[in-house]
Amino acid sequence: MATLNIPESLETLKKAQDLDREIYTARQELAFFPEKIHQLTLDLEAEKSRMLDLEKQLKDIQVRQRAKEGELAEKEGLIRKYDAQLAQVKTNKEYASLQKEIDSLKADCSMVEDSILAILEEGDQLQRAVREERNRLAEVEKEFEARKREFDARGEVLKAHLDELTGKRSGVISQVPEEARRLYEKILDKKEGLALVPLVGEACGACRIDIRPQLLNELKLKEALVVCEHCSRILYTD
φ, ψ of residue 235 to 5 degrees: the values are: -105, 150
Instruction: Name which position in 207, 218, 222, 227 contacts Zn ion (CB under 5 A).
Output: 207
Q: Which of 72, 206 has the CB closer to Zn ion?
A: 206
10 Å Cβ neighbour count for 225? 21
Instruction: Name which position in 215, 225, 231, 234 contacts Zn ion (CB under 5 A).
Output: 231
Q: Which of 109, 225 has the CB closer to Zn ion?
A: 225
SS3 state at 191: coil
Based on its alpha-carbon atoms, the radius of gyration of the chain, rounded to whole angstroms, reads 41
Please report the sign of the dihedral spanned by the C-alpha atoms of residue 25, residue 176, residue 217, residue 238.
negative
Q: Which of 149, 212 has the CB closer to Zn ion?
A: 212
What is the contact mask toward Zn ion in residues 161 to 200, using x (rule: CB under 5 A)?
A: ----------------------------------------
b/e map 47-78, b = 16+ CB within 10 Å: beeebeebeeebeebeeebeebeeebeebeee
> Which residues in 210-229 contact Zn ion (CB under 5 A)?
228
Q: Which of 109, 235 has the CB closer to Zn ion?
A: 235
Instruction: Name which position in 13, 165, 183, 204 contacts Zn ion (CB under 5 A).
Output: 204
The footprint of Zn ion (CB under 5 A) covers 204, 206-207, 228, 230-231
